[in-house]
Structure formats: structure tokens, C-alpha cells
Structure 1
Amino acid sequence: MKFMLDTNICIYLIKCRSEKIIEHLKKHTAGEVGISSITLAELRYGVAKSQHRKQNRIALESFVLPLEIASFDEKAAEMYGIIRSQLEKAGKPTGSLVTLIGAHALSVGVTLVTNNIREFKHIKSLKVVDWTA
């Protein structure tokens, strides 16, 4: 995997079918783009609370089918602890899910794709791109 899609970009792509993002995806082979198991959990939560569960579940399954799903492992957990501690010491706490996804991307050495770069800006060394810009 070279690129990890965050939750916001996944939702944006599922709902909007953005041509810009699709063009970026076409530039990469299978296995180069994926999501964190944390992102998958967030997306499944969205489906579970939606009014159109069946339709949204089908859309989600179709969306994730070609993607690699990276499991949140011990290395990611260690990175999360370090990053969260650094952010708190710097007085820049970030949402737990943002920190988990950022730590996961860092732990596997990939670039995080998001349309909300602002959320991830305090995580040092994290490579972040916005494919909607």
C-alpha cells in the first residue's frame, strides 16, 4: 500500500463519485490504495446508523472490494501512543480517531489521503494529500 484513504475522503467518494479522486485512483494499481481497519469501522458505523442500511451496506461493500484493508497492529498501537502523548504535551490534542488513523498511516509508511488536511496537520512526519484539490 502506498496511499491510505481516510474516512472523510471515503465518504466523499461514495457519495459524490468525484471524478478528480477517481482519476487519482486510476493512476494506481490494486494494492497501492487502501484503508485502515479503523476507517472501515467508522464506515460500518455510518451504515449501521443510517436510515438506508441495506443500500448503504451494498455501496460500502462495493467501495471496499478493490481496496487493501490494513489491520491496526502492535506497531500502529505503539505509534498512536507516541503521537497522542506528543500532541498532548504540545497542547494540540486531536480527536482519537484522527490520531489512530494518522498513527496507522505513519506506522505502515504510507501517504494519507484526506479532504480535511487541517485535522492531521499536527501529526509530525505524516505525509498527507488532498485528492479533491
Structure 2
Amino acid sequence: MLLIDTDICSYAIRSRHDIVEKLALAGPENWAISMITHHELLFGSSLPTTSERTITGVRRFLDAAKSLDFDSEAASAAALVRARLREKGKPSGEYDALIAGHAIALDATLVTNNTKHFENVPGLKLESWI
């Protein structure tokens, strides 16, 4: 299972050919997004400066994507991620920790362009498509 990070979703929404192709090749049954990513995309498209084209793209993407609920197992894994990173003196953004924890709880590979945000997360499987 591939969990697609918000930045990769943004590339797909902007119709970046290589990303759209990789999602298609993976097959819709083999990838999903976290409800945290779902929230981030909705937030970004709710800003007053967001173009109608982007809003439409986000809606279409979310209609096509499988959004996975952030459950208690994901919450526990995310809490451990944040605690371990803080212990190492490498705190992460809250959304990044939540998404990383969700991927770990699902035993999924997180697909992101922001590997530096996640490379210190113990037990996280990462893949970059850029």
C-alpha cells in the first residue's frame, strides 16, 4: 500500500504527467491518502486566493482518491513519531508527524517529494517520485 503525501497530491492536481502516470500504474486499489492530507488539500483550496481551476482540481482529485480515516492506531503511532523525533532534537511539523504515523500504522510506504521532512522517522518506509 502506498500512502500519498500532500505534496505529491498537489503535483497530481496540477496534472504533472509523471505523477499522474505513476498513480495510474500503481492502480487505485494500491494507493490512498490520509484524512490528514485530505484536510490539507481542503484547507489550501478554501483560501480566498485559490483559483477556481485549483478548487476544481482538488475536488476531482478527492473524488477519485481513497481517503483513509485517521484512527486510534494512527494516533498512537503519530504520538510515538513526535516523541522520538523530539528526543533526537529533530522535531517535525505536526501534519508531517501525523501522516508519518498513519503510514507506519498502515505498514504503508509514504510517497513524498519532501523526504527530508521524513528521513529521521524510525520505521517509516519512504519513496520519492520526483
Would you call these one fold, judging by a TM-score over 0.5? Answer: yes
Counterparts of 1:29-68 in structure 2, within 5 Å, are: 29-52=27-50, 54-68=52-66
TM-fit CA distance, 1:30: 2.1
Counterparts of 1:1-133 in structure 2, within 5 Å, are: 2-15=1-14, 17-52=15-50, 54-132=52-130
Aligned residue identity for 1:13: A
Q: CA RMSD in A?
A: 1.4
TM-score, with structure 1 as normaliser: 0.90
TM-fit CA distance, 1:41: 0.4
Mapped contact 2:6–2:37 kept (Cα < 8 A): yes
TM-fit CA distance, 1:124: 1.1
Q: Deviations over 1:85-107 (max 9, x none)?
A: 11111111111111010101111
Which whole-Å CA distance do the structure 2 matches of 1:60 and 1:4 have between them?
17
Q: 1:48 to 1:4 in 2, by over 3 A?
A: same
TM-fit CA distance, 1:64: 1.9
Question: Percent identity at matched positions?
Answer: 32
Mapped contact 2:111–2:129 kept (Cα < 8 A): yes
TM-score, with structure 2 as normaliser: 0.92
Mapped contact 2:32–2:66 kept (Cα < 8 A): yes
Q: Deviations over 1:26-84 (max 9, x none)?
A: 22222211100000101111011142454333211111222210110000011011111
Mapped contact 2:44–2:50 kept (Cα < 8 A): no
Length, aligned pairs only: 130
Mapped contact 1:31–1:67 kept (Cα < 8 A): no
Give the secondary-structure state (helix, strand or coil) at the position aligned to 2:110.
Answer: strand
